[in-house]
Amino acid sequence: MTAPLTIAIDGPAASGKGTIARRVAEKYALRHLDTGLLYRAVAVLCAAEGIPLADAAATGARANRLDPGDLERPGLRSAAAGRGASVVAAHPPVRAALLDWQRDFAMLAPGAVLDGRDIGTVVLPEARAKLFVTAEPDVRAARRWRELSKDRDIAYRTVLQDIEDRDARDAARSDAPMRQAGDAALLDTTQMSIEAAVTEAIRLIEGQLAA
């Protein structure tokens, strides 16, 4: 039996990693998991059930009872859910609860593409290919603002501030901080269209798979 093909794609908010991960999964006929959705779901469920997001033990216990259907909840993509996600994501019991889920998903044949913050460093350190996708904060904020402002009135400044706060929290936490794995290829999409970024991502991955 051949080992599952696993690909790790990490990076900060609105760097393009989600779209790239989806397209890479299509190209290699793999399953795809947006791991940010797990943290978003924990935050939204805790808020709905009155569990304080600052309570590491209680949010961890809720994360242990996460159900696949919870990932379909409406509202997970909102800015508030993203903010809440980065608060609960700093708690070691939450991260521990979600680790096996992510690994089990990746190890099922034929393998998977996972995108997040700590996939190449913690979740799948043995991934066959790894990318760290980034872009300048103002470019990422403009992309996210275009998405969010379709549904509601939101100021660009608010989106930029939100992204900068979240980046700082994600990079500073002590458990699984966001960082480029030593063996990950860096892809800066600041000047790239999404098509160009996907093409470059696949070129980098092909190089890693062939090595």
Query: Considering the rule CB under 6 A, would residue 86 count as an interface residue with ligand CDP?
Result: yes
Query: Considering the rule CB under 6 A, would residue 170 count as an interface residue with ligand CDP?
Result: yes
Burial call 145-164: b when 16+ CB within 10 Å, e when fewer:
beebeeeeeeeeeebbebbb
Q: How near is the Cβ of 198 to ligand CDP at its closest, in Å?
A: 17
Among 35, 59, 134, 189, binds ligand CDP (CB under 6 A): 35
Q: What strands, in cross-sheet order, belong to the sheet with 111-116? A: 31-34, 111-116, 5-10, 129-134, 185-188
Distance of CA 73 to the CA centre of its chain: 17
Outline where the chain has alpha helix (H): 17-27, 36-49, 56-64, 79-88, 92-107, 137-148, 156-172, 194-210
Stretch that binds ligand CDP, among 11-19, 49-57, 59-67, 191-199 (CB under 6 A): 11-19
- Residue 121 is classified by DSSP as I
> Which residue, 98, 123, 100, 109, is CA-closest to 178?
123
Amino acid (one-letter) located at 67: D
Among 116, 131, 185, 189, binds ligand CDP (CB under 6 A): 116
Among 16, 20, 39, 184, binds ligand CDP (CB under 6 A): 39
Stretch that binds ligand CDP, among 64-72, 80-88, 182-190, 203-211 (CB under 6 A): 80-88
Among 24, 32, 33, 40, binds ligand CDP (CB under 6 A): 40
Q: Are 15 and 21 in contact (CB under 8 A)?
A: no
Q: How near is the Cβ of 67 to ligand CDP at its closest, in Å?
A: 18
Q: How near is the Cβ of 1 to ligand CDP at its closest, in Å?
A: 28
Residues that bind ligand CDP (CB under 6 A): 13-14, 18, 35-36, 39-40, 82, 85-86, 89, 116-119, 166, 170
